[in-house]
Structures are given as structure tokens and as C-alpha cells.
Chain A
Amino acid sequence: DAGVTQSPTHLIKTRGQQVTLRCSPKSGHDTVSWYQQALGQGPQFIFQYYEEEERQRGNFPDRFSGHQFPNYSSELNVNALLLGDSALYLCASSIRGQVTGNTIYFGEGSWLTVV
């Protein structure tokens, strides 16, 4: 049973460019959340997708957008990249309605460096 898979694992972009990160949730999970973890900080919630719609959003600008596909996989898009967007982007999957913590699984993350 594959867990949460993310791609790419590492990438380097230039300021002003756009990036797309991808996530496949754990089998049987229908909800995908994205977190940004800056160096030396805890993860910060970006948004959550369920039934192909954004359900919750953290304090991130509109440059951050996402999508969920019918197979529950998800993409995170960041436009007009800034140096401050350099971070580890974590995808988490869960089952909607289950509120116990062990239903949230994290991927290994995508390391984004903006130069």
C-alpha cells in the first residue's frame, strides 16, 4: 500500500517563474492538504481539497492555488515566485470526517529553491 507520494523531490526555479507540485494521496484517502515548511520552522497550512474543491485556506496569497482531480490526486501551483517561497512543501492526505490524528499521513515533500 503506497503512502503519500509527491513529485518532484527537489527543484530550482527563478524569481517570477511558476511551479507545479504534485501529490498522490494514500490509497483510500479522499482529502489532500498542502503545507509550507520554511527552513527552521514548523509547517504552515496552505489549503485543503476535498471533492475537487478548496475547502479551507490558510493565510497565503492568491499566488498559491491548487487543484484536485477525480482520482483524488492534487497539484499545488505557485505563480510569480519570490525568494521567500523557498521551502519544503508537504502534502498530507486524510479521510474526510475522520478527526483522529493518525488518519493524516504526510509525504516526503518537495524541496523548492527560488533563486
Chain B
Amino acid sequence: GNSVTQMEGPVTLSEEAFLTINCTYTATGYPSLFWYVQYPGEGLQLLLKATKADDKGSNKGFEATYRKETTSFHLEKGSVQVSDSAVYFCALKGQGAQKLVFGQGTRLTINP
């Protein structure tokens, strides 16, 4: 079945550091890929998405590129802020499917 594997956390960085959170997936066909963010005490918010190979999703300074050859969708940000502290989830939706399959999440803490 479809699955998502994320970089183990927690990740702690200083403000303005470069961020990478790795995500790889296993799926048949052409899934859609997503990053969701969960701030403390809140539900999930869609951060960015990509629906086909080589697509780059971007939002709020975050970027991720759908790499079919390496089955990856790594999240990056050039300069993180304290307000980026949250849990980040990589997820996929199989071709034609309605449900999301999530990774285990990566807790990110940014120190001033």
C-alpha cells in the first residue's frame, strides 16, 4: 500500500537557519503530494502541494519539489523564523483516491 516516511525529529534550529525536512514515499501510479503544518493545539493546515512530477509547491517561503525519480518531496525554507515552530506532516493522496496517507510528523523548534 501507499506509505510516507519522514525525517525523524525533533529538529531544533536557530532563527534564519536553512531548513530541510526529508520526505520519501511509496505509491503506485501518480499520487499527489502535500505538506501540512500543525501549530500547537490546532488542527492541520495545508502548507503546499504538488500534483505531478517536477511540480514545485511553495507557500510562506517554504518549497518542495515532487521528484518521481527519487520518490521524494523534501520541504525546504531558506531562513526560518520562530513562528515556524510547529509539527510538519508530509502526506500523499493516491491517484483517484480521496484519503490522505500521512508520515509520522517532524517537530520543528526555532530558537531566537
**B-contacting residues of A (Cβ < 8 Å)?**
4, 31, 33, 35, 40-45, 48, 55-56, 58, 90, 92, 94, 96, 99-102, 104, 106-109
Q: A33–B98 Cα gap in the complex (Å)?
A: 9
What are 10 pairs between A and B in contact, CB < 8 Å? A42-B6, A43-B100, A48-B98, A48-B99, A90-B44, A99-B93, A99-B95, A100-B51, A101-B49, A106-B44
B98 touches A43 (CB 8 A): no
Report the count of interface residues on B (CB-CB < 8 A): 26
B46 at the interface (CB under 8 A from A): yes
B101 at the interface (CB under 8 A from A): yes
* A94-B49 contact given A101-B93, A109-B43, CB 8 Å threshold: no
B32 touches A100 (CB 8 A): yes
Q: A106–B42 Cα gap in the complex (Å)?
A: 10
- Chain B residue contacts of A48, Cβ below 8 A: 98-99
Q: A96–B98 Cα gap in the complex (Å)?
A: 8
A40 touches B105 (CB 8 A): yes
- Chain B residue contacts of A35, Cβ below 8 A: 100
* A107-B43 contact given A33-B99, A100-B49, CB 8 Å threshold: yes
B12 at the interface (CB under 8 A from A): no
Q: A99–B33 Cα gap in the complex (Å)?
A: 11
B25 at the interface (CB under 8 A from A): no
B43 touches A106 (CB 8 A): yes
Chain B residue at smallest Cβ distance from A31: B98
Q: Find residues 76-112 in chain B having any chain A CB closer than 8 Å to their own CB.
A: 89, 91, 93, 95-105
- Chain B residue contacts of A58, Cβ below 8 A: 99
